[in-house]
Amino acid sequence: MRQYFIVIILFIPATIFGQSIDSTAIQQVDSLIFLARDLMKQSDFENALKVNTEAEKIALSVDLGMGPKSSTYATCCLNHGTALHIKGEYPEAITWYLKAKSIREDLMETDHPEYGKTLNNLAIVYKTLGQYSEAEPIYLKTLEIKKQTVGNKHPDYAKTLNNLALLYADLGQYEKAESIYLEAQAIREETIGKDHPHYAEGLQNLAGLFWIQSRFKKVEPLLIQANEIFKKHLGVEHPTYAISIRTMADLYKHTGEYEKAESYYLEAIDILNKTLGKQHPQYSISLSTLASLYNKLGQYEKAKSLYAESIAITEQVYGKEHIRYASNLNGLAILLEKTGEYEQAESLYVESKTIWEKLVGRNTPEFAGSLVNLGGLYWKSGRYDHAMQYFIEAKDLFENHIKNTNHPYYPTCLDNLANLYSSLNQNQKAEPLFLKAISLREKIQGKENLSYLYNLINVALFYWKTNQYDKAESYFTDLSAFNVRHIEKGMYYLTEQELNNYIKVFSKTENHLLSFSQDAGSGKLAKTCYNSCLFYKGLLLQSSGRVKQLALSDSIISEKYYRLQAYLNQLATQYSKPIAERDSNIIAQIKDAATEIEKDLTRNVAGWDEANRRVYWEDVQMMLNADEVAFEFVQYNYLKNQTSDSIMYAALLLRPGYKQPQFIPLFEEKQLDSLLQSSGQRKADYVNNLYTMAERGVQPVEQPQKSLYDLTWQPLEQELVGVNTIYFSPAGLLHRLNLGAIPLSDEETLADRYRLIELGSTRQLVIPTKINIADQDALLYGGIQYDMDSSAIASANTDYTYDLAGTRGELSFSYSDSTNRGGSWDYLKWTNKEVDKVATTLTGSGFKTNVLKGYLATEESFKSIGRRKPSPRVLHIATHGFFFPDPKTDPKTEFTNAIQDEPSFKISEHPMIRSGLILAGGNYAWQTSKPFQPELEDGILTAYEISQINLSNTELVVLSACETGLGDIQGNEGVYGLQRAFKIAGAKYLIMSLWQVPDQETSIFMDAFYKHWIEGKMSIPDAFRSTQQEMKERFINPYQWAGFVLVE
């Protein structure tokens, strides 16, 4: 992270003077000028200029005793320049100021108050344009004139002092600037009082000076005081108030209070857009500062867009040789460096450095900072000689020329130089620089600034690299705590996607943490790692699911939630269209509206704090009985150096009586992936081989391939003596395994030896998923007719038309391209018998059952669940499921150009669209990519559509369909597909399949499971385990009995 520059607020002096001459023409000009001034106060600059132009026409009349060399015309020129100045049309403003200045000088009116004001405004423009050598002598001359005309105890004199101090602050002459600021404030306090906007102006700029010098404890009180003055006297719809709250946002961004920062930035942008328009420099500045925030939060696409817009406005207003333009280039370059676009980043860094050097010179923090940035880029790209040159030069500038080692760029310089020495194995030089950098960072920016995170990472990695494990452990512990604190803050105001992006900012540091634990051995950091798992695993699912569940329990909040759903439906409709047919303006408006509601829900939903309270390893341990154990499987990139392509797996194991969890390394992902790869995907021979004991006879010449048992379980066995029940949470590719089917011998599997209970996270042992069971009812889908019969489907949907008006398009299948479809879904005859048997079992136990078969099993019926009444306790779905892998990671998928007319369904970037269920009449849409009639649903129910349904009263969902357990796997966050969809919807338990379980075996399994649960009065986990054991005894091949998994 690099330091940004605080925005300084300037008040351009009023320039309107009435004339005392008793002349009708003079009075008319005077009146017009006053009117123009009032229009400027209202930010109506176009009409102000029109009015002022009329005044100019009169003032130019020689016949009326005025003319182009008259004092009256000079006043008009000054007023015209002021209007252009405020509008940001600086070159034109200079022209008019110079014209006014020339007239006054020709008239020998250099002692006239307006001459001083003209000089003052002209100096402000020169300073704004970075022409400091032009500005300073004009300020000094103005100050002398003010002293002669109004005295050195007048507000106008203080105003000029203030602007001169701003100039010296920009030039790095801080002591001189502070002295002048304090003199100006003393004059204002004496003359206009402390409750005046001009006094607030001084507070803002004094705060800015302290900020530049990193004297942050003095900054916030001054900004708050100034903001209250502006609010009181100018109102909340004034540009000056907008700029004031933007400065507050800068502060909160700096202190890590990102929710406040974003809120203030957005408010400021809205006010400036209304008052000054989008082509004004202040609007551009606000865009770039918000972009900087999004950059910190990992919302890179948002940041890029804002930077691009800001740069375009800045170039139009100032041209390319301006500090604002250089600053914007630098911000975008930092972003491009983060996203690995080094070549583009280097070009922008070089251009920015050139501008800084030309405008402010080499002995300035800005130029030194540009050297640090370039050096950092060269270090990352392995160009060590260039990096060393720039770091050494920047360090020398800060220490010997700028003489400001409290500037945030300085510890960045030291940290980067230390990294470079470490890369060159010059560790004795590196260590003191690392420690000095982190100490200065804490002093200058505090421990909550994201820059401090990078210092922590670098020191921890250095001590790990040099085998100083105790020191490394301390820093890694601090690092993990830092990550959690910042993500916890984000959970209260970020949307799910924004939170996902924000977590990615910290994901690399978690990889470092787990990698160090693997390397260090002896259980170092195992406590931290387990706590980290409890926090991160399923965090996004937990966040979105809890908000939904809690929101729907409150009638007032639920109204907002349903409004959010409506926006998401509209947004989904737009995204599902071919790119050429999307309306970007509508998308932007809908996204903004939806985001605001989502954030409001996150902040205000009752029970949110409790639902998201931290759980620690000790809490989990307390829930375990003597014969129970808890596993957290983890997947991580092994990162001791900067990069690695090794994806590793480990288990964090916890038993009663342990002083800390055990960190047990398992295997490298490519070892497991090689077992899961097969040309005959998910066929009987592949599955049976996967879950069969490895050959124990004569060893082949080549190293034998390790079995599932060898990879996943053998390293754990020594910790499992005396264990009966195992609670475990999978990660990565382990989601695609049935651990219970892994053989221990030819006769025994893991499920035979242990009671295995799969959880999304072992935190569920402490905070279980709560379901409010409203009724003993069940809804069953089976025996579905997939071919189209429009009359039958229309008749079936009669009861749902009212409920579902306007709901189509929730990222539905029919908007997608048909090029990758074709074929059809066959009727599953055994599902008809399956749901009848299940219904009989449930009805016999007092359940009210509703069975939807044939053409009654419509998508409309499914989307009506939870609308008129609570969702059913049991939802059983016996139908086809589908899943297409991520095209960016699946080598078998041809990636299609994103600019094609219609995006392919299979290559959608949204994982929740690439999986789903087939319902009545679905074959028509599958083959044609559109519903049979525009007002009908398409019969293809995507996972995204399921996630929008309210299943908060549903205890069990059974997905008796092919491959329903599959989906995109995103590290430790879990599976993005049907599993995630039903959990977001609110269901407690899910039974899903990992491969294409034969239809008949599926029916037998389901019938047995319900009998154990309902008639046998077993818990759902025990009923599932008993059923799978019976299936194993009846069917020898795992393909027939091991395909289903139960997830809580």
For residue range 174-216, what is the model confidence (pLDDT) as tens digits? 888 899 999 999 999 999 999 999 899 889 889 888 877 767 6
Confidence of residue 343 (pLDDT cuts 50, 70, 90): very high
Same domain, 205 and 191: yes
Same domain, 123 and 156: no
Residue by residue, what is the 3-state secondary structure of 840-885? HHHHHCCCEEEEEEECCCCHHHHHCCCCCCCCCCEEEECCCEEECC
At 758, which helix (H) or strand (E)?
strand 755-758
Confidence of residue 971 (pLDDT cuts 50, 70, 90): low
Domain membership flag for residue 718 = no
- Whole-number pLDDT of residue 902: 34
More confident residue, 11 or 533: 533
Distances (CA, A) of 537 to 476, 557, 684, 724: 19, 27, 32, 25
- Whole-number pLDDT of residue 794: 61
- Whole-number pLDDT of residue 970: 62
How many whole angstroms separate alpha carbon 525 and alpha carbon 661? Answer: 9
Domain of 59: which CATH number?
Answer: 1.25.40.10
How many whole angstroms separate alpha carbon 377 and alpha carbon 346? Answer: 7
Contact residues for 429 (Cβ-Cβ < 8 A; gap 6+)? 418, 421
How many whole angstroms separate alpha carbon 840 and alpha carbon 849? Answer: 9
Confidence of residue 442 (pLDDT cuts 50, 70, 90): confident
Confidence of residue 735 (pLDDT cuts 50, 70, 90): confident
For residue range 269-297, what is the model confidence (pLDDT) as tens digits? 999 999 988 888 899 999 999 999 998 88
- Whole-number pLDDT of residue 989: 92
Q: Picking from 1-5, 67-71, 123-127, 570-574, which range would have the lowest pLDDT averaged per residue?
A: 1-5
pLDDT of 847 above 90: yes
- Asked which of 234, 252, 279 is the last residue of a domain, the reply is 234
Total of domains in the chain: 3
| Placement of tokens 């900004």 in the chain | 223
Give the count of beta carbons closer than 10 Å to the beta carbon of residue 847: 20
What's the mean pLDDT in 495-508?
72
Same domain, 145 and 157: no
More confident residue, 292 or 801: 292
Q: What do you get for the CA distance between the two ends of the chain, in Å? A: 40
How many whole angstroms separate alpha carbon 619 and alpha carbon 867? Answer: 37
DSSP line for 456-503:
HHHHHHHHHHTT-HHHHHHHHHHHHHHHHHHHHHHHTT--HHHHHHHH
Same domain, 135 and 157: no
What's the mean pLDDT in 444-451?
77
For residue range 888-945, what is the model confidence (pLDDT) as tens digits? 554 443 333 333 333 334 545 567 777 889 998 888 888 776 776 766 778 888 888 8
- Asked which of 149, 178, 198 is the last residue of a domain, the reply is 149
Using an 8 Å Cβ cutoff, are 940 and 925 in contact? yes
For residue range 454-480, what is the model confidence (pLDDT) as tens digits? 899 999 999 999 999 999 999 999 998
At 326, which helix (H) or strand (E)?
helix 323-338
- Mean pLDDT over the full length of the chain: 80
Confidence of residue 444 (pLDDT cuts 50, 70, 90): confident
Same domain, 66 and 179: no
Domain membership flag for residue 925 = yes
Same domain, 157 and 33: no
Contact residues for 77 (Cβ-Cβ < 8 A; gap 6+)? 56, 96, 97, 99, 100, 103
How many whole angstroms separate alpha carbon 570 and alpha carbon 582? Answer: 12
Q: Range of 883's domain?
A: 781-1047
Domain membership flag for residue 398 = no
Instruction: Write down the pTM of the prediction.
Output: 0.70
- Whole-number pLDDT of residue 816: 34
Same domain, 138 and 226: no
Domain membership flag for residue 481 = no
Tell me the H-state helices in 111-196.
Answer: 113-128, 132-149, 155-170, 174-191
Give the count of beta carbons closer than 10 Å to the beta carbon of residue 255: 17
Q: Picking from 90-94, 256-260, 292-296, 1030-1034, which range would have the lowest pLDDT averaged per residue?
A: 256-260
Using an 8 Å Cβ cutoff, are 907 and 893 in contact? yes
pLDDT of 89 above 60: yes
pLDDT of 998 above 90: no
How many whole angstroms separate alpha carbon 574 and alpha carbon 587? Answer: 7
- Asked which of 234, 249, 284 is the last residue of a domain, the reply is 234
Domain membership flag for residue 31 = yes
- Whole-number pLDDT of residue 411: 93
How many whole angstroms separate alpha carbon 901 and alpha carbon 903? Answer: 7
